[in-house]
Structure 1
Amino acid sequence: MRYLGAVLLAAFSAMTPPAAAEVRHTILSFEDLEGWADDDHSAALEVFLNTCRDLDHPEWRPICRVAEDQTDARAFFEVFFRPVLIEDGEPMLFTGYFEPELTGSLVETERFKYPLYSLPPDIDTAAPWYSRAEIEEDGVLQGQGLEIAWVDNPVDAFFLHVQGSGRIRLPDGSSLRVGYAGKNGHDYRSIGRELVRRGIYEAHQVSAQVIRNWVHRNPAEGLALLRHNPSYVFFRVLSRLPAHKGPLGAMNRSITEFRSIAVDPAFTPLGAPVWIEKDGNQPMRRLMVAQDTGSAIKGPQRADIFFGTGAKAGREAGTIKDPGRMVVLLPIQRAYALAPEV
């Protein structure tokens, strides 16, 4: 699963989940959804079906059975769902995330010397374990045979930890897919926020690319900056994940670029369709599916859009910090239970 996607941008706006009494549920009509009629509902239905089988709940099971035989995707969503706007008074924030592609090797060399570790068998997940600095500087995991691969760039390795999954391009042209296996129990500290605290950048200037460039220009100080974040992610090899599929999301299914989003499951059920009205430089009106989570994704009006794999997707995702609105499509019975006054 993706554990910390888009946290470099979202950390500035991370919200504490509000009390239940502060949350408002408003049932809308499909006519209230801007651009609804123009979307490719069949594409959204295909993504919905990818995780629908995992929704083992009385409200979802019959809908998922019906979804498998649909020929009119738009009618399916309009008949079996109601749009519900869930708000807590905080403004909507959209960010983006992606699947990194790194250059690496299965053996350590002079070039490939930054390891990616599998989950240590003796790790205590109930309490903070060794920090990033202790793992990277002190080498507390060396000699235990936990290395999955070695990569050639410590900044790329750091961003792989941030995204939680990625592809390692090996010297023979093949690829190794890795995904999130666990973490060391330390809370994440925002690198972007630290750069702002030091007076190096203003908050609006910080992006993943800005951080990458600063670390490259300041190698020694840059590594120390990355270790300001004590959180450390461990990986597992995803040997059964086909190359043409996206990385695994929180539902342990492949996610789809521009159709899968990460949400706060305290407000938005995983697997639910979600209508996106993203503003900003690249407006987006699209039906997506909540198939992932992230530690920076907190609140009912908060979403992280999956942009795909590789450097181009990373550059695009790193620029997203936009307002707008998201509306969850819920089974009719569930929708009216949340807003009984309607």
Structure 2
Amino acid sequence: MNKTLFRTALIAVAAAVLAACPSSKKPKTTTTPGVVKGPDRPTGTPHPAGTTVAPGGGASYTAVRYGDLPQWQIQQFAKSLRSFQLGCEKLKNRQGWQDVCAQAAQTGSDNASAKNFFERYFTPWQVSGNGKLNGTVTGYYEPVLTGDTRQTSRARFPIYGIPEDFVSVPLPANLRGSKSTVKVRRSGKNSGAIDDAGQFSADLSKFPISARTTALKGRFEGSRFVPYYTRNQINGGALNGKAPILGYADDPVELFFLQIQGSGRLKTPSGKFIRLGYADKNEHPYASIGRYMADKGYLPLAQTTMQGIKAYMRQNPNKLAEVLGYNPSYVFFRELQGGNDTGPVGALGTPLMGEYAGAVDRHYITLGAPIFVATTHPVTRNGLNRLIMAQDTGSAIKGAVRVDYFWGYGDEAGNVAGKMKHTGYVWQLLPNGVQPEYRP
């Protein structure tokens, strides 16, 4: 691609993003330092720099040289490699990834060896969405809530597992966007199927369906299949006696942000941690309470960060039900193993490594792939250029150039993540010979 236009676009992030001048030299790939065990694996044929593919969905990808990536030479490649190795527990069985995962397992843990691994076995592709190189980078973290395994005068707010009456019904592609009425039959616990011989009618116009909706989430009520309860209804007691309770949180606002993050830990008075992972959601669309609070005049838009919202709620508890209930989306959890010793498990199914993993839109970015992100640090305001792994997803993470950066767990990570919303640029690294794909 045209380097002048490319560098001009990067300046729009922040001058600090280009703090280290990228080299225009193509990385050497004729030797394999850093491979310390076993035979060298095939490298495939890299796509030449400037190759552009547009597989669909408004996305395009252009192969570039590593020297085009800002501050590439000073990355902490050993940490990036470790994060990639964690993801290889799932990737190693996927077509196109077997060889690079096998090689990753044999690569030395020093920085030089890790750098050579990525440069030798991957081609970087700059990602563009709807003709734009720039997108948005936000941050998330794993919250640590205080509470208990039983209800007390302090721990009063239930953390629900999947309710007994919650039913997921696969939605055929030809019905996505339809407003017709269909028949649904019960096909097992928490599951159903669209079937002309079904006993329950479902008016699709009543369900929050988009072009990407793959399942109806609801419940049986009389002879009808209806959308599942909203947050307001659940907070009002709709799930009493209908769902397993994994624990109780001390603070309803912290519980709300646990649902926004999608995973976290509950710390009990005994010092025990219960790790909570995403299980499912009611499928009502996410609505920003920050935008709602700004529109209502409760907070200036610039102050609707996680920290700002928490502070407002502490000072205005009478607004709690109104503000939290504005977002109808509700997440159900499951208890995971490893309460104290591992990171949260992302959508890939492997633990996330703080500051070296992130959430993406899997329609545009291959889940598990390394991605290079160029953006702005939310605290220092300096350039944040990092090779991380696309190992998670999120319902609010939509678009080709869209990343949610995982900062780790606890209050410190939360303070950084809550301030992060900046312009950013994304490069996807794929094994040599593998082209980017769009997955509808």
Indicate whether the TM-score tops 0.5.
Answer: yes
**Aligned residue number for residue 261 of structure 2:** 163
Alignment equivalent of 1:70, drawn from 104, 107, 130: 107
| 1:100-141 Cα distance to aligned partner (Å, 9 max, x none) | 11110111111111110111132023233011111111x122
Name the SS of the counterpart of 1:178 in structure 2: strand
Partner-residue secondary structure (3-state), 2:283: coil
- In 2, Cα distance between equivalents of 1:166 and 1:53: 22
2:163 is matched with 120
Shift of 1:201: 3.2
Shift of 1:54: 1.4
1:213: which partner in 2? 311
Code of the aligned partner of 2:86: N
Q: Residues 205-284 of structure 1 correspond to what in structure 2 (within 5 A)?
A: 205-238=303-336, 240-280=337-377, 281-284=381-384
Q: Aligned pair count?
A: 318
Q: Which residue of 1 aligns with 2:85?
A: 49
Is 1:334 the counterpart of 2:377? The answer is: no
Residue aligning to 1:316: 416
| 8 Å contact kept, 1:214–1:222 | no
Cα distance in 2 between the residues matched to 1:153 and 1:202:
24
* Matched residue SS, 1:224: helix
CA contact (8 A) 1:215 1:223 kept: no
Amino acid at match of 1:260: A
Partner SS for 1:53: helix
Call closer, same or farther: CA 1:203–1:118 in 2, change over 3 Å: same
1:107 maps to which residue?
Answer: 150
Segments of structure 2 that go 5 or more residues without pairing to the other structure are 1-53, 169-215, 218-226
Contact 1:187–1:230 (CA under 8 A) maintained in structure 2? yes
User: What is the deviation of 1:296?
Assistant: 1.5
Distance 1:179 1:266, change over 3 A: same
Kept in 2: contact 1:278–1:324 (CA 8 A)? yes
Structure 2 SS opposite 1:334: coil
Q: Tell me the residue number matched to 1:132.
A: 231
Mapped to 1, the partners of 2:86 and 2:148 lie a distance apart of 32
Higher RCO by CA contacts (8 Å cutoff, separation 6 or greater): 1
Alignment correspondent of 1:9: none
Structure 1 regions of 5+ residues with no counterpart?
Answer: 1-17
> What is the TM-score with the length of structure 2 in the denominator?
0.69
Q: What is the CA-CA distance between 1:22 and the residue it aligns to?
A: 3.2
Question: Which range moves more in the overlay, 76-85 or 140-149?
Answer: 140-149
**Superposition CA RMSD, Å:** 1.8
Q: What is the rounded CA distance, in whole Å, between the counterparts of 2:229 and 2:58 in structure 1?
A: 38
Decide whether the 8 Å contact of 2:265 with 2:339 is kept in 1: no
What is the Cα deviation at residue 98 of structure 1? 0.5
| Distance in 1, Cα, partners of 2:90 & 2:255 | 32
For residue 19 of structure 1, report the CA deviation from its aligned partner.
9.2
Tell me if 1:95 matches 2:95: no
Decide which structure has greater strand share. 2
Farther off after superposition, 86-95 or 148-157 = 86-95
Asked if structure 1 preserves the Cα contact closer than 8 Å seen for 2:149 and 2:268, the reply is yes
Distance 1:19 1:26, change over 3 A: closer
Do the aligned residues in 1 keep the contact of 2:354 with 2:408 (CA within 8 Å)?
yes
Distance in structure 1 (CA, Å) of the matches to 2:419 and 2:413: 10
Alignment of 1:293 onto 2:393: yes
TM-score under structure 1 length normalisation: 0.88
Amino acid at match of 2:376: D
The separation in 2 between residues aligned to 1:320 and 1:282, in whole angstroms, is 12
Give the secondary-structure state (helix, strand or coil) at the position aligned to 2:408: strand
Match of 1:34 in 2: 70
The offset of 1:144, in angstroms, is 4.0
- Asked if the contact 2:275–2:339 (Cα under 8 Å) also holds between the matched residues in 1, the reply is no
User: Which stretch shifts more, 211-220 or 197-206?
Assistant: 197-206
Q: Which has the larger radius of gyration?
A: 2
Q: Name the residue aligned to 2:60.
A: 24
Question: Quick check: 1:147 aligned with 2:235?
Answer: no
Deviations 1:228-259 (A, max 9, x none): 11111111111x22512111100121101100
Q: Cα distance 1:223–1:30, how it changes in 2: closer, same or farther (>3 A)?
A: same
The one of 77, 81, 97 aligned to 1:60: 97
Identity over the aligned pairs, expressed in percent? 37
Per mean C-alpha deviation after superposition, the further-off stretch among 50-59 and 172-181 is: 50-59
In structure 2, the residue matched to 1:11 is none
* Distance in 2 separating the partners of 1:111 and 1:95: 32
Cα deviation, residue 221, structure 1: 1.6
- SS of the equivalent of 1:333 reads coil
> Which deviations, in whole Å up to 9, do the C-alpha atoms of 1:168-189 show, x marking residues without a partner?
1101111111111111121111
